[in-house]
Amino acid sequence: MATIIVPAHNEATVIRKCLDSLKKQAGVDCIIVACNGCTDNTAAIVQQEYPDLICLDIATPSKVNALNEAEKYIVSWPVFYIDADTQLSENAIQIITRAMQIGPLLLAAPEPVIDTSQSSWWVKQYYRIWLSLPYIQAGVVATCSFVIAEQGRKRFTEFPPVINDDGFVRCQFSPHERGNVSGAKVYINAPRTLASLIKIKTRARLGNMQLAASNLCTRPDAKPYSRILKQKLFSREWLAAGVYIAIASLIRVRAWHQYKNLNQYRWEVDKTSRQSSST
């Protein structure tokens, strides 16, 4: 049996789809929705339409604080940390729980399925290359979720005040201890516009810079992108590779400028992926 934690900040437009996909799962003891700093009706939706779930209405708009508060209500392991704008495939909880019970994984995640059907050409080219990078395919990246075994959770005391919470968790585990679980999927909507893509990828890059500077990673990864991207530039994927490199370079510069004023950083959100398909 498992516990699920869903941090949610102003997720009224997507929270129902997420929770509906979680309530259909077998093998779940408890679902905790940690609403934090919401100025919309996210908490009201959970309280009124999902009364059997634990709903925390936390004043502070902080994802890591929400995770720390929600962990006080854990009743069983492993614990699934699921973003509110995603959905899980059928039986994903049982598949991952079973894999962690019989294998070496202390940190796991479902396989990401990123929907770019509503995205611009630029966004599609970026994801075409990004999803093919070995670092991304290695596991527990781009999943908007992670699952920690009870023994694995002993690697750190609490979630620190960082931008990249999943990056922090990932770098506490060696490659053989973490991975995506085949047969379990998490469905993610990609940003629709290039501007929104740049926002969320800058946030991720900034989060990695913060982690590196604070020495919070006990098992950091090397990311040898240069050779791989060079190969793609001289292949049939040359156009997509060129677009990826240009966008990634812009993201790197933007993150560097934001890092210089990190104490003034405001969380950037992609609102385009939270729109309905009819808009």
CATH number of the domain at 2-273, out of 3.50.50.60, 3.10.20.310, 3.90.550.10, 3.30.1280.10? 3.90.550.10
Q: What pLDDT does 201 receive?
A: 96
Q: Where are the domains of the chain?
A: 2-273
Contacts of 61 (CB under 8 A, 6+ apart): 9, 36, 37, 38, 267
Whole-angstrom Cα Rg for the chain: 18
Q: What is the mean pLDDT of residues 205-233?
A: 87
Mean per-residue pLDDT of the chain: 93
pLDDT at 273: 87
Could you report the per-residue pLDDT of 54-109, keeping only the tens digit for each? 999 999 999 999 999 999 999 999 999 999 999 999 999 999 999 999 999 999 99
In this prediction, residue 256 carries a pLDDT of 96
pTM of the model: 0.94
Q: What is the pLDDT of residues 131-187, one digit of tens each?
A: 988 878 778 888 899 999 999 999 999 999 999 999 999 999 999 999 999 999 999
Report pLDDT for 223: 67
Q: Is the pLDDT of residue 277 over 60?
A: no
What's the pLDDT score for residue 279? Answer: 32
